[in-house]
Amino acid sequence: MDVLDAQFVAGATNLGQLPAPTFAEIAFAGRSNVGKSSLINSLVRRRKLVRTSSAPGCTRAINIFRVRLRTNGDEAHLDLVDLPGYGYAQRSKAERRSWGPLIEGFLSERPGLRGAVVILDIRRGPQEDDLQLLEFLRSVGVTPIIVATKIDKLPASKRKLALAALRQELSGAVIGYSSVTGDGREALWERLLSVSSIRRAENGAAS
Ligand SMILES: Nc1nc2c(ncn2[C@@H]2O[C@H](COP(=O)(O)OP(=O)(O)O)[C@@H](O)[C@H]2O)c(=O)[nH]1
Ligand SMILES: [Mg+2]
């Protein structure tokens, strides 16, 4: 799997501003500062495609990035959708409430959405709002792809145990990831391609 190209397509602070979907889409969601932008940059191997920040909570828009990739000798496109971070405690309640409809509206109404990557910090595990998001995804039938990031912050001896505990707590698959070392990148791409039906389609009919 090679990323041939990745570029910003559109950003919007309300759903009506978004362009109609063109290719399969995967959403990325997580608490502010969990490492969502870094994860997208690491996936596409562009250091600065998505702005990362040490001042949390400053991305309020939905941003779409288009990736052109090659897998099994064929080219395909996939749109990665960076959703606003949630759960930033220092924001006002009113401001936090205003984000819910944007995130939930996108996840429930966007045709062509194939799955949602839910990003957790391996050191903290799921917080209440992460669990709410997972429940919401279940209720609208969007496939969750759970990623535990920043695994480089744990000593290697503790990673396996932490991942096993998370898998048990969430009763499902959890992909360990580090945007610093690239650990987990292949596993996550494999999951994204399969959820997007890109791999299956390309193995079958020519396009
Ligand atoms: N050590 C380490 N730091 C990370 C990782 N991912 C993100 N960070 C750091 O965490 C902070 C927040 O990252 P960012 O991608 O902006 O988070 P976002 O708010 O969820 O988009 C930044 O200082 C990043 O450098 C990771 O995998 N490992
Ligand atoms: Mg970000």
| Distance (Å) from CA 81 to ligand 2 centroid | 11
At 163-188, the pLDDT tens digits run 999 999 999 999 999 999 999 999 99
Q: Which ligand is nearest to the CA of 54?
A: 1
> Is pLDDT at 95 greater than 60 in this prediction?
no
> pLDDT-based confidence at 124, cuts 50/70/90?
very high
SS3 of 76, please? strand
CA 113-95-136 angle, to 5 degrees, is 35
Distance CA 145, CA 55 (A): 26
pLDDT of residue 199: 77
Please check the confidence at residue 75 and state whether its pLDDT lies above 70.
Answer: yes
Is the distance from CB of 174 to CB of 162 less than 8 angstroms? no
Amino acid making up residue 118: V
Which residue is associated with the tokens 């999951």? 191
Q: For residue 33, how far is its CA from the centre of ligand 2 (angstroms)?
A: 7
- pLDDT score for 47: 75
Structural fold of domain 2-202: Rossmann fold (3.40.50)
43-58: pLDDT as tens digits: 999 877 887 765 544 5
**Domain boundaries of the chain, sorted by first residue:** 2-202
**What pTM was computed for the model?**
0.91
Distance from residue 195's CA to the centre of ligand 2 (Å): 23
**What are the tens digits of pLDDT across the range 12-71?**
999 999 999 999 999 999 998 999 999 999 999 987 788 776 554 456 789 999 999 999
